[in-house]
Amino acid sequence: MASSSTRREIDQISWSWREWMGVNSPGLASSNAAETGNGPTFGPEEATALYREVFDALQVPRRLSGPRRVRRGPFEIASEVFPAQFFSGDFVSVFDSSHSTFLALGDIVGKGLTAAMWSTHILGLIRTYSNSLDSPGAVLGAINRDLYLLGSVPLTTVVLAKLDWQNEKLSYSNAGHCDPILHSTNGKVEQLAIGGPVLGALHGAEFITGVIDFPAGTTLVTYSDGLTECRNELDQEFGVERLVNEVRNAAALGASKALFSIVGAVQDFAGGTPRVDDLSLMVVGG
């Protein structure tokens, strides 16, 4: 079931998007290995088994991430991760706890399999501590202690938010991540920076929790630096200013349409220039 579902999702994306987002055919990797002469040689059965194991490993962080499209009360939540390679160091997570919904988007320093393994560990910690601790800041503080005690862990940035959609409140804490963009019902745009340092860097670091009103019609956009640092053929970055403009233009579209409107704007800006970093995006709107 997982294989056919994932294939249907990939097939819905046009070839130009698949190439830019790094979703390449298995034949591309094998042909590159053959050209260099450095790739390992596998028999048909070994190659099939390896492909199956890699595919199953790719599903673990996705399952921990939760659904990519959900609705809670008047709010729609949409998120996507577009890896630069097969495995992503970016991660998202959406899950319910009591009467609220937790939202997380983060970035592990590095790429590939190692980063993906760490993201799976951190996704598990987020879910575990969110069930016992009330505020996002307290959750990040507990995760930071765990990572610091492990030692030699890759630095991790993350925004963790708790959406109380029944009372239209949002509490959040930002651990060294790109500041999310908040588009209010009156058209005001601000960035959410309250929080603390990157995870795993400082023993005993404190993470402050910010609390804001979040009425229906508000839009929150959380993203990784792979979006704002995406470059075009002139080596220019997309940047935060362009992103803010796109958020203003897409705020009334609803979360899912706004997400793909923003990603489409980044793709148009890049003009076919290959991405070198993972790209993740989460939009919450009502």
Q: Which residue has the higher pLDDT, 196 or 45?
A: 196
Cα–Cα distance for residue pair 77/29, rounded to 1 Å: 34
Total number of domains in the chain: 1
Question: Is residue 147 in a domain?
Answer: yes
Question: Is residue 162 in a domain?
Answer: yes
Choose the weakest-confidence range: 64-68, 130-134, 281-285: 64-68
Choose the weakest-confidence range: 108-112, 120-124, 240-244: 108-112
Q: How many CB atoms lie within 10 A of CB 192?
A: 20
Question: Is residue 245 in a domain?
Answer: yes
Decide: 277 and 225 in contact? Cβ < 8 Å: yes
Per DSSP, the chain holds a count of helices (H) and strands (E) of 9, 12
Q: Does the CA dihedral 20-67-196-201 come out positive or negative?
A: negative
Question: Is residue 42 in a domain?
Answer: no
Confidence band (pLDDT; 50, 70, 90) for 88?
Answer: confident
Whether 25 has a pLDDT exceeding 80, the answer reads no
Q: Which residue has the higher pLDDT, 6 or 277?
A: 277
Across the range 122-151, mean pLDDT stands at 94
The CATH number of the domain holding residue 138 is 3.60.40.10
Choose the weakest-confidence range: 81-95, 162-176, 236-250: 81-95
Paired tokens of 19: 């190439």
Cα–Cα distance for residue pair 286/284, rounded to 1 Å: 7
Cα–Cα distance for residue pair 167/100, rounded to 1 Å: 10
For position 21, what pLDDT does the model report? 52
Choose the weakest-confidence range: 108-112, 160-164, 189-193, 228-232: 108-112
Whether 23 has a pLDDT exceeding 60, the answer reads no
Question: Is residue 16 in a domain?
Answer: no
Question: Is residue 27 in a domain?
Answer: no
Question: Is residue 240 in a domain?
Answer: yes
Whether 24 has a pLDDT exceeding 90, the answer reads no
Question: Is residue 218 in a domain?
Answer: yes
Cα–Cα distance for residue pair 81/92, rounded to 1 Å: 7
Choose the weakest-confidence range: 46-50, 54-58, 177-181: 54-58
Choose the weakest-confidence range: 22-36, 76-90, 204-218, 237-251: 22-36
Whether 26 has a pLDDT exceeding 50, the answer reads no
Tell me the one-letter amino acid at 278.
D
If residue 25 lies in a helix (H) or strand (E), which one and from where to where? none
Tell me the one-letter amino acid at 216.
A
Which residue blocks in 134-197 are alpha helix, DSSP H? 136-150
Q: How many CB atoms lie within 10 A of CB 87?
A: 19
Owning domain of residue 271: 65-285
If residue 235 lies in a helix (H) or strand (E), which one and from where to where? none
